[in-house]
Chains A and B, each alone.
Chain A
Amino acid sequence: MRKIITFLFLAILGYYMVNLMNQIPFGEDRMNVGRYYLENTVSETGSVNTVTSIVVSYRGFDTLGEVTVLFLAATGLGAILFDKRGKKRRKQHASSLVRTTSKLLYPLIVLLGAYVFVHGHLTPGGGFQGGAIIATGVLMMYMSYRKFETNHKALTIIESVAGLTFITLGMTGLILGQTFLENFLPLGTPNTLLSAGIIPIIYSAVGFKVGAELTGVLDTLLKTIR
Chain B
Amino acid sequence: MSDALVILIPLLAVVLVAAAIYAVRQKDLLLAVIGTSIVSLILSVLFFMLQAPDVALTEAAIGVALTTIIFIITIKKTTRYEE
In the complex, residue of chain A having the shortest beta-carbon distance to the beta carbon of B73: A221
Shortest CB-to-CB span from A83 to chain B, Å, is 13
Q: Which residues of A contact B54 (CB under 8 A)?
A: 49, 51-52, 124-126, 129
> What number of B residues sit within 8 Å (CB to CB) of A?
14
Chain A residue nearest in CB terms to B53: A124
B57 touches A135 (CB 8 A): no
Inter-chain contact A135/B73, CB cutoff 8 Å? no
- Say which size band chain A's interface belongs to: 20 to 34
A224 close to chain B: CB less than 8 A: yes
Give the complex CA separation of A170 and B75 in angstroms: 41
Query: Contacts A51-B54, A124-B54, A218-B69; is A225 near B76 (CB within 8 Å)?
Result: yes
Closest A residue to B76 using CB positions: A225
Q: How far is the CA of A132 from the CA of B76 in the complex (A)?
A: 23
- With the chains together, A128 CA to B65 CA distance in Å? 14
Per the bound structure, the CA–CA distance linking A102 and B76 in Å amounts to 23
Report if A136-B73 is in contact (Cβ < 8 Å); known contacts: A51-B54, A124-B57, A128-B58.
no
Describe B's contact surface by its main secondary structure.
helix
Chain B: CB-nearest residue to A221: B73
Residue from A126, A132, A218, A221 in contact with B62 in the complex, judged by beta carbons closer than 8 Å: A132
* Interface status of B25 (Cβ within 8 A of chain A): no
A126 to B54, CA, bound (A): 8
Q: 16 extra interchain contacts, Cβ-Cβ under 8 A, other than A132-B57, A136-B66?
A: A52-B54, A116-B57, A124-B54, A129-B61, A132-B58, A132-B66, A133-B61, A139-B65, A143-B69, A218-B66, A221-B70, A221-B73, A224-B73, A225-B73, A225-B76, A225-B77
6 closest A-B pairs by beta carbon, nearest first, are A124-B53, A132-B61, A129-B57, A136-B65, A125-B57, A124-B54
- List the interface of chain A (C-beta within 8 A of B): 49, 51-52, 116, 124-126, 128-129, 132-133, 135-136, 139, 143, 214, 217-218, 221-222, 224-225
